[in-house]
Amino acid sequence: MARSGEILQPHGSVSRLTSPDGTHHTIIYSSLNAQNADAAIAGEIAHYRKLDAEVEWKLYQHDTPGDLIHRLEKFGFEIGERETVLVLDLLHRHDWIEHPPPHRTERVIDLDQLNLYRQTAEKILRKDYQFTTDELAGGISAGSAEHLGYLCFDGAVPVSIGRLYTHAGSLFGGLYGGATLPEYRRAGFYRSVTAVRARDARELGARYLIVDALPTSCGILRRLGFVEISQTWPCVLRRGVKQ
């Protein structure tokens, strides 16, 4: 399901997703086979070359054909680090959600907090966070709770971040962007951010939490009760890359 402002465009055997400002493109779904996969990949490349745009092909373990990841790589897509798709049923009681988190965690609700969020995110992840910050700012201005940011503190110092997506038409809440400064890891900060987001997701009507987890967070999420349902890879075609 597309989030507010996003454009979902089914096209043959693939579905394209475009961000509200038209700057981010994702192939979010595909249903291909060994006979039509190469032609479909070439067609998508031609489409995004015409737009002069970068695109991410969101590849799942269960996607067909079974060698799709190798086909994408052959066509010039960069295969990113494998992520594990994990789901938590919020209908079940989880003590770690019910109890107060061990570290102070705040939802980002104003521009001062948002500036602090961006500074912390860029310090942890070492990349520009303008796009995400702008998305969060738009939600704050509109009074929307669909896309929320969070900060977790060690005393007065922000050391961990996270985001939550929910949608009134979906049973799923999505956890994104959870990260902690290296020197503060293994001290419960990520768990605190996850607990607050889980509680908010439930209050906003989500039945399940879903997350694409890197190896750094898989272990703790499994211990909290998340269950693996698939694997996924971000496959990116850069602007100007030839077939």
**Dihedral sign, Cα of residue 130, residue 21, residue 176, residue 236:** negative
SS3 content of the chain, % helix, strand, coil (to 5): 35, 30, 35
Distance CA 216, CA 203 (A): 28
The CA-atom distances, in angstroms, between 123 and each of 42, 81, 108, 131 are: 38, 21, 17, 16
Looking from the CA of 214 toward its CB, the CA atoms found within 13 Å total 9
Nearest to 25 by CA among 139, 39, 50: 50
Output the pLDDT for position 58.
98
**Could you tell me the pTM of the whole model?**
0.92
- Asked if 54 and 236 touch (Cβ cutoff 8 Å), the reply is yes
Report pLDDT digits (tens) over 46-93: 999 999 999 999 999 999 999 999 999 999 999 999 999 999 999 999
- Asked if 210 and 84 touch (Cβ cutoff 8 Å), the reply is no
Task: Report DSSP letters for 12-32, one per residue.
Answer: TTEEEEE-TTS--EEEEEE--
Q: Which residues contact 96 (CB under 8 A, 6 or more apart)?
A: 191, 195, 224
Output the pLDDT for position 240.
72
Nearest to 90 by CA among 203, 186, 181, 209: 209
Output the pLDDT for position 170.
93
Q: Which residues of the chain have pLDDT under 50?
A: 243
- Asked if 9 and 26 touch (Cβ cutoff 8 Å), the reply is no
Nearest to 137 by CA among 161, 157, 158, 108: 108
Question: Can you read off the two tokens belonging to residue 110?
Answer: 């104003």
Output the pLDDT for position 4.
73
